Structure 1
């Protein structure tokens, strides 16, 4: 079985785990789903499968619940205390304290329930009434070479709140995956959380066993923390899939927007709320050949490809009118359904492309020019002024905060500039955002404010950002991430991964993968990676790679732009790269976590 088929079959293991939980109740049962869990659950199993496992009805979790009569009910929620309390309150309101039912109420918590969930049940006297179950699905195979755990709030938990609660779940996910694809002999871990994950995998192997596969389907693995390359998430991308995620927001590989679900209108200043076209399609190359062709193209090429495909459809329609009877019969039997499907795909992508132009067109070119200057370390005062102007003209707080964070990572703002921007930001978007200042410090965007102290060792008490200006450019130059002549990058037929950002920047994971796949001397790899920060390299006679394939695990979310850059590297080197992360994100997602 080839690697892609193995990754596609991961859902079968998840089904078996879920079936074991549901089989606790042999009679028919109801299932109540938290709305945000529906999409990823569809990647694990469908309604038909649930019905075959004794589920009679499926409900969406709402403030008021229907009557479940005498049937058992399984709630399924993410590991969130507020949602858990909502479910417990619903159950509490339905039971009789004198004669509570047994084996009727179950709560399945994804990826696992926390200890204080049990404490809550004990305090309410429901410990014997409500049964808790943990369910951690295997990585979801969203598209060729893309695996996602689709777990919310991992970035916020680890990088903003400095909370390690969910870190063991990432370790277990990797350990589980090794049983399917084997454990590679060459492993690189970059960053605090990546190294902790690697250590926890070692503990799991020691306590619960290692996979019995002698040869891995993957030549090597790279674990890397999100904060090692913030620019790849903060820069405005140029590829089609990445822009879809920017404009529409993609959930679990599905781009869906309904016309009736109008966004809440904010107070308009200079930019009116732009209407989005309704779309509904999966970002899956195997099911949508049109998407497979355009997903990694630079957006200026996407519209011309869609235009060509539309002309082909029109030509086919004209030709069908001139067919003889036998030809019409053959056309209907063999080609009509495929033509209808292709027409639907093209229509969806045309509507999406039109929306991308309408939403981003007004500021896209100006934004790219400013970002180019930022990456090239020029016009710092102009760039900062542009960010401050955005506070007055942009309705979305994420847009201006994102540019501010990019400036902090690269061109290092002074303490007075940080204070000036933040004061204006809070005045513009409300003092409810003021707590986000602490998250910016924890994430490493800005330094801890210096407070007068009698301590001689003041420096040890100051939290410095992960990347200050000099360090960022030093690392970027070491890994050749900034092309000297962006205008010479071919965006139509790219040969440089920087095309995903219009030729101004190459994602770090692409450059690291390139070094490993091209068998750069191991001492040179260690020397370059050592300058980034905490690093571990394990080489059990696995380098140069015995298989030209690599698994990249990005802790804290990965972007479609980074995936596109790795796809280009695959094409150029003939290698295989699989991307794994807790979620597919964009820069606005990170900003929302900071402001939430």
Structure 2
């Protein structure tokens, strides 16, 4: 079985999980689904499939109105969110107070209400259920669909609250769910020989996988695994790969349009949506009537136009879409020159496909025009500003330009996004941050002052009080590193800034064109793409240690040659290097199997996906990089997740 077939099998696994869960609930059921789950669930099962599993009716969950229960058992399918859970319990209380048989049902052990949480049922939910006095009335369940295959070599757990919970609220409740999904991946694809974790949360995930023990498939020889290496990385280890403005087609689609569950809403406008109302007056006047069918699939199998252009530079992609539109137009014109028999054959066999293709091309032409309309005037200016930020050239001038963008465009998320990039690359003082907070709140209101604390918790901005202390200590402690931030140190170690011979990917092609930094207009190479490139190209453990050995919080879980040992030894790279020299461990490099799985905790951007795809093509045949995460995000999505 090929790797692609195995990855497509996740849908069958999810169906089997849901089927088992529904069958475990007796009697006929009415399923009440939270609206945000419906779109994700449609990619796993159809409504007809659900009804064939003992479900009589399907409803949308309405927080304001309870759905009356008649004879059927009510099953709620909701996100693992405490406020939503409490609202469901309030509705159940309301229904139970009107049921004359409620006391009798409790005495007989009949539970007419079941709640299924996605992706996990946390222990405190049981405590809340008992506090509300519904412990004998309601039964709780969990359902995790693990991964949804959105596109070739791209999987998503579709749990968008991971970044907010883990990196802002410091809530680790979802980490076991991530670990369980990666363990299921090991069951499906085999257990990799090498696991690399980079970040505190990534190390927790790998530790939980170890504690759960090897999956049943681990009884087979490990050389049968589809992946040689699993790399788990925290989102906060490479914020710039989300904050920088991408130059590729798929990345810009997410910059301008809202997206959910693998689809773009071409009628939406993410940039206008984050502007102050006064800046949207002209946009509302010029707004065109929206089309009812305006969604674009972010799947290469469902939309071949997207598949051909998703990782291309936007200028190249838009020109190709226009060329395809002209070609379709010429083919339709040729229809008038055909004979009657030829025309009949054409109408039956080719015309439906041509019509479908024409509709897709029209949609892509429209979104290209909208992207140009929104970004053409500011893209180059923004790219130059981001280059200055990464090069740490003139902070005072940079902050002035960001203030100007705030006053002339009034974008709620993108101005914060630039400020966060300044902090990561240049560092921000308390005075500089305070000035920006004052100006930002003057535009958007004091109600958003809490955002800066959330951004500080995520490591995107400094804590003002802490900055005052570290500023005083910094002058005494390490003056030689005053001008270098943690991000710059990491970027220099990994050689993430293009230009040097060691950074650019070596190939027979033109390096100015075929370089992973092209996803950001040649400004920056995404961290995960560079780690994958280093792993694949390293000829020995010594070469790998030379490039990655001095990094903090990067741990290697190195399997031994003894196949009876079913656990990973967590070690830093220098310890492994010493053990290899002593003959205690075998050198796994160069990698025989160059198929790598990368999982990013906290969301992945299309720029990172495109960079990994390019690395797999540049380093030679037999290389494959599969990327997975909890969701797919843009820079504005990352900032928006800090807003309650």
Report if TM-score (shorter chain) is over 0.5: yes
Mapped partners of 1:396, 1:314: distance in 2:
39
Counterparts of 1:327 and 1:341, CA distance in 2: 20
**Comparing 315-324 and 12-21, the one that deviates more:** 315-324
Residue 633 (structure 2) aligned to one of 585, 588, 593? 585
- CA deviation string 1:366-401 (max 9, x = no partner): 111101111122232211111122332233211110
Q: Indicate if the aligned counterparts of 2:159 and 2:631 stay in contact, CA closer than 8 A.
A: yes
Q: 1:48 to 1:526 in 2, by over 3 A?
A: farther
**More moved, 317-326 vs 303-312:** 317-326
| Equivalence for 1:564 | 610
CA change 1:527–1:485 in 2 (3 A) is: closer
Q: Does 1:525 align with 2:544?
A: yes
Q: Write the mapping of 1:69-148 to structure 2, written as runs, cut at 5 A.
A: 69-95=70-96, 96=98, 98-100=100-102, 101=105, 102-148=110-156
Measure the CA separation in 2 of the matches of 1:569 and 1:265: 37
Once the two structures are TM-superposed, the CA of residue 403 in structure 1 deviates from its matched residue by 0.2
Cα shift readout 1:219-276 (whole Å, capped 9, x = no counterpart) = 2111111111111100011111111111112212111255799969842148844648
* Distance 1:92-1:566 versus aligned 2 partners, 3 A rule: same
1:426 aligns with 2:436: no
- TM-fit CA distance, 1:335: 1.5
The Cα offsets for residues 401-422 of structure 1, whole Å up to 9 and x where unpaired, read as 0000000000112232122212
From 443, 465, 468, give the equivalent of 2:458.
Answer: 443
Aligned residues: 586
Indicate if the aligned counterparts of 1:254 and 1:280 stay in contact, CA closer than 8 A. Answer: yes
Distance 1:156 1:31 in 2: 28
- Closer, same or farther in 2 for the Cα pair 1:103/1:322, shift >3 Å? farther
Q: Name the CA shift for 1:60/1:204 in 2 (closer, same or farther; >3 Å).
A: same
Asked if structure 2 preserves the Cα contact closer than 8 Å seen for 1:145 and 1:579, the reply is yes
Match of 2:526 among 499, 507, 521: 507
Give the whole-Å Cα distance in 2 for the aligned partners of 1:85 and 1:468.
49
Three-state SS of the structure 2 residue aligned to 1:150 is coil
Name the structure 1 match of 2:356.
341
Q: 1:223 to 1:265 in 2, by over 3 A?
A: closer
SS class of match (1:427): helix
**Secondary structure of 2:278's aligned partner:** coil
Find the aligned partners of 1:513 and 1:324 in 2 and give their Cα distance.
56
The answer as to 2:199 corresponding to 1:191 is yes
Asked if the contact 1:181–1:218 (Cα under 8 Å) also holds between the matched residues in 2, the reply is yes
Match of 1:325 among 334, 340, 354: 340
**C-alpha contact (below 8 Å) 1:500/1:561 kept by paired residues:** yes
Using the TM superposition, name which of 116-125 and 29-38 deviates more.
116-125
Asked if structure 2 preserves the Cα contact closer than 8 Å seen for 1:270 and 1:394, the reply is no
Could you give the per-residue CA deviations for residues 528-553 of structure 1, whole angstroms, max 9, x where no partner exists?
33444211113335432221110001
Which residue of 1 is the match for residue 255 of structure 2? 246
Shift of 1:493: 8.7
Superposed counterparts of 1:543-562, under 5 Å: 543-562=589-608
How far apart in 1 are the matches of 2:227 and 2:354?
38
Q: Are the aligned partners of 2:303 and 2:360 in contact in 1 as well (CA < 8 Å)? A: yes
State the Cα deviation string for residues 98-140 of structure 1 (Å, max 9, x = none). 5225332211100112222222222222112111110011211
Matches within 5 A, 1:25-44: 25-44=25-44
Superposition deviation, residue 185 in structure 1: 0.4
Cross-structure match for 1:312: 327
With over 3 angstroms needed to count, the CA separation of the structure-2 counterparts of 1:218 and 1:310, relative to structure 1, is: same
Report how far residue 446 of structure 1 moved.
3.3
- Provide structure 2 residue ranges, at least 5 long, that are not aligned to the other structure: 560-585
**Once the 2 structures are TM-superposed, how far is the Cα of residue 341 of structure 1 from its aligned partner?**
1.6
Q: What is the distance in 1 between the residues matched to 2:241 and 2:182?
A: 24
Whole-Å Cα distance in 2 between the matches of residues 399 and 264 of structure 1?
8
Asked if structure 2 preserves the Cα contact closer than 8 Å seen for 1:301 and 1:492, the reply is no
Q: Are the equivalent residues in 2 in contact too, given 1:481–1:507 (CA < 8 A)?
A: yes
TM-score, normalization by structure 2: 0.85
Report if aligned partners of 2:275, 2:411 keep a CA contact under 8 Å in 1. Answer: no
Give the TM-score normalised by the residue count of structure 1: 0.92
Q: Higher mean Cα deviation, 97-106 or 582-591?
A: 97-106
Aligned to 1:67: 68
User: 2:487 aligns to what?
Assistant: 472
Deviations 1:138-178 (A, max 9, x none): 21111000011111211111111111111111111111110
SS in 2 for 1:446: coil
**Contact kept in structure 1, 2:423 and 2:462, CA below 8 Å:** no
CA distance in 2, matches of 1:249, 1:571: 30
Are 2:308 and 1:293 aligned? Answer: yes
Question: Tell me, what secondary structure is at the counterpart of 1:481?
Answer: coil
Cα distance 1:231–1:438, how it changes in 2: closer, same or farther (>3 A)? Answer: same
1:481 aligns with 2:490: no
CA contact (8 A) 2:424 2:486 kept: no
Task: Give the alignment partner of residue 218 of structure 2, picking from 196, 211, 234.
Answer: 211
How far does residue 198 in structure 1 lie from its aligned partner after superposition? 0.9
Residues 265/232 of structure 1: CA separation in 2 closer, same or farther (3 Å cut): closer
* Counterpart secondary structure, 2:462: coil
The 2-side partners of 1:370 and 1:241 are apart by: 22
Aligned partners of 1:576, 1:271: CA distance in 2, in Å? 48
| Worse-superposed segment, 210-219 or 44-53 | 210-219
Summarize deviations over 1:189-240 as a string: whole Å, max 9, x none: 111111111111100116x766334221012111111111111100011111
Change in 2 beyond 3 A, CA 1:591/1:317: same
Distance 2:510 2:399 in 1: 28
RMSD of aligned Cα (Å): 2.9
What are the superposed Cα offsets for residues 497-546 of structure 1, whole Å, 9 maximum, x if unpaired?
A: 11111111111111111111113532343343344421111333543222
CA apart distance, 1:65: 3.5
Q: Using a 3 Å threshold, how does the CA distance of structure 1 residues 379 and 223 change in structure 2: closer, same or farther?
A: same
